[in-house]
Chain A
Amino acid sequence: MTSNALREVRVVGTGLIPFGKFPDQTLAEIAWPAVREAILESGVKPKEIGGVFCGTALGGMLAGQRIMKTLGISGMPIINVENACSSSSSALSLGWLSVASGQHDVVVVVGAEKLTKFGGGTLPLEREDWEVNQGMVMPALYAMRARRYMHEYGLTETQLAEVAVKAHEHGALNPNAQIKKRVSLDEVMAARPVTEPFTLWHCCPTGDGAAAVVLASADVARRLEGKDVRIAASEVTSGLYTDHFRDMTWPELTARGARGAFEMAGIGPEDVDVAEIHDAFTIAELMYYEAFGFCGRGEAYGLLKSGATSLGGSIPVNPSGGLLSRGHPIGATGVAQAVEVTRQLEGRAGAHQVEGAKVGVTHATGGGIAGLDHGACSIHVFAR
């Protein structure tokens, strides 16, 4: 999308609850504290909120209304968005457009999910999908990508396990992470198998969570003061359908989205200071390094091993711990990433701060659906 006619949009408030397991709370009870935090942090008055965009994949009907009424905020258009793991990042894109286009001056975007209501195990997928009906589960899809990548590029199971170690080194520094502990390479390797070559530590945990941002026009942001983080690109794409051969070592959907987002922001991968990408499983982090152009094809493990993507490196990826450690209540992830990157650019990420970060990227993709790489992919670029 051309940005010529669009207004600048800034993130003026952020809210996030520590991810975890809250089976005794409703979705609204899980989510309202994040929305409240974002609104209070922004300084906008509730009556200034022109619209609400709520992303949830499995939260049920009217999730946005259920959350917002808890805070007594109602009457404005509330749009509920479902796009699997990209639900709230897609909602973020709609919220961005509504401010950029001039429809609203201030909007709230919230992502919320309660996966504990399914009682654990793999994510419930749509049984109308013929592959799901033949036994497909998300960890198996990623595991097959991993197996092929290992075959083509010589990546070993031990090397793949190092992704999990790095994720939890970061997550241990993040008070909002669902898993706040380090794991050793031996622990990763010795854990119970889920879908080989993945053990439990190769997989993001099941959990609940919520996150919210307040977006505003630059005019409103100037009045609020100290709100310097703008959305430099907002991109939503869907996978390309085929029932024929697909190169599973190359995430075409993410690569295409990244190209679009970088073009819109007028930057390249070398300009990114911090990235929160969709590491639902260990192999995903490595493949997305390549799709974003942080390294060439087949070079992802080398980049990880060099320390470049760890805190203190040249391009820290998932300083929050990512999906593997912060957690992945799927509909909440996109906005949680936006909260993380905004706080990184504002220099208030605490123990997992990326020093001097000025440009950040978020990336949420997902949906297990036959014939598509993934159902959806949403990428945002933030800058100050």
Chain B
Amino acid sequence: MTADTDLLKLINPALVEAAASGPRLLGGACRACGARSFPRAAVCTDCLSIDVETLALPSEGRLYSYSVVHQAPKGWDVPYVLGYVDLPDGLRVLAHIAAPPAAIAIDQQVRLALGVVGTDAAGAPLSTYTFVPA
């Protein structure tokens, strides 16, 4: 996994890291009040502290809703599935759902993965965190 992900060009490397046990979403935890954030907040939206540490988030969640997207700006591999995943700590994450639409259902458990979702201006593959049925 580590060797493979080194080759991936991530859309936003600040949002996900590749660990030996698999990818992990990176959020934030305010050291002053404990509030969680995703993406990691530069300033805590609960108490305005700027002492927010990076925190690896749970890798499983529940799919709140989704849509199969057929029309999108240039660069995305259409069709793709977008969904909102609710993590056990209350955070909600917008993510590509890397599964055939027929295998996707509201409220199903999903787990974190990495996947190619499009190409950059030069035609190179672009990757990001995704969720797949657990």
Q: Interface residues, chain A, CB within 8 Å of chain B?
A: 121-122, 124, 130-131, 133-137, 139-140, 143-148, 151, 192-198, 241, 243-246, 248, 370
Contact = CB atoms under 8 A, between A and B. Distances in A.
A135 B72 contact: yes
> Does more than half of chain B's interface fall in helix, strand or loop, or is it mixed?
strand
> 9 closest pairs, A vs B, by CB?
A143-B67, A148-B65, A144-B65, A196-B68, A195-B67, A244-B90, A151-B106, A147-B65, A131-B94
A243 B64 contact: no
A146 to B, nearest CB: 8
Interface residues of B, number: 38
A2 B78 CA distance: 50
Given A243-B37, A245-B92, A194 B86 contact: no
Interface string B64-88: 1111111111001001101110100
12 contacts: A134-B11, A135-B76, A144-B64, A146-B67, A148-B64, A148-B106, A194-B70, A194-B71, A195-B67, A197-B67, A246-B92, A248-B64
A133 B11 CA distance: 7
A137 B83 contact: no
A244 B68 CA distance: 23
A137 B95 CA distance: 13
B15 A137 contact: no
Nearest to B90: A244
Contacts of A196: 67-68, 70, 101
Given A131-B94, A134-B12, A148-B106, A124 B67 contact: no
Given A134-B11, A135-B82, A196-B101, A243 B92 contact: yes
B117 interface: yes
A136 B65 contact: no
Contacts of B90: 244-245
Contacts of B15: 130
B128 A134 contact: yes
A329 B47 CA distance: 39
Contact of A244 (B91, B95, B106, B128): B91
A333 to B, nearest CB: 21
A137 B73 CA distance: 8
A139 B71 CA distance: 9
A146 B38 CA distance: 24
B133 interface: no
A299 to B, nearest CB: 21
B91 A243 contact: yes
A194 to B, nearest CB: 5
B66 A144 contact: yes
